[in-house]
Amino acid sequence: MQADDIRKVCVVGAGNMGHQISMLAAVSGYAVGCADTDLLQLEKAEKFAATYLPGRVAKGKMTEEQAAAIREKLSFTDNLEEASRDADFAIEAATEKLDLKISIFKKLDQFMPPHAIITTNSSFLVSSLLAGETGRPEKICNMHFFNPALAMKCVEIVKGPHTADETAQVTMDFSRLLGKKPVLLNKEIYGFLVNRILAAIHNEALYLLEMGVASAEDIDSAVVNALRHPLGPFRLMDLTGIDLTYHITMERYQASGQAEDKPSPTIVEKYVKGEWGKKSGKGFYSYETMQD
């Protein structure tokens, strides 16, 4: 199969990443089935589509006819078999829980045609943890988008030892057809490229904060104004969710058993307090009073 042969895309997960990836694929001309068992997430995804497309029309980015045609290509359902039936390519964007992803991959392998490629959008879990649960390990790889998926250009394509060269190439080419700039990792490594670099920055920022060297605000300001990052590390952790930072770090620690992989005391404290960032109204910043 070539990337040009892809006609229908299945996205599993209708959360923030899932519904944006679904919209991206529909805007790029593909029929899209987006599945989720959470009816609230499906409702939010429907509302996003009902807002996003008219917004693009209002900005002159597309005509009403184009918006209507895109909406026709996009379906949201709680029936995974319906969403994946006859799909040529799948992107799993479910919660970062290995047991859940294994269950999804088993079902996709059962429902999708033999030629179809199945990818995971996971930012940390490598596809070799999933490929053996299917009858098509050579057609499995990571395809990691960045948030917001509609805007961010980078996509990390990660080959596992099971991934065929053709699968990696089709996934790279498909990413380009979605308007992205993919990067290829020739081997699996925890955290891939971007998150490994980000983790190093975040760990150092947390160390500087905990040692009393500078405030979160001043560390963020230095990173933005000296290194030209769009967001400082603390603002970024607030945006992505301190709870996510905690769970990912704990998963790494549980896998390695190394003390240096434990979440920092600051992250643990904020997680326990429910100060998870923007989603909870408070993290390193207070979102009622924070001034940009």
Active site residues: 123, 144, 156, 195
Beta pairing, strands 140-145 & 154-158: antiparallel
- Distance between alpha carbon 144 and the CA centroid of its chain, in Å? 6
In angstroms and rounded to an integer, the radius of gyration of the C-alpha atoms of the chain is: 20
List strands edge to edge, sheet with 181-185: 74-77, 31-35, 8-12, 89-92, 117-120, 140-145, 154-158, 181-185
Alpha-carbon distance 77 to 198, whole Å? 35
DSSP string, 78-90: S-HHHHHTT-SEE
Residue 200, CB half-sphere, CA atoms under 13 Å: how many? 7
Which residues are within 8 A (CB) of 282 and not within 5 positions of it... i.e. 6 or more apart? 275
Task: Answer yes or no: are the C-beta atoms of 275 and 240 closer than 8 Å.
Answer: no
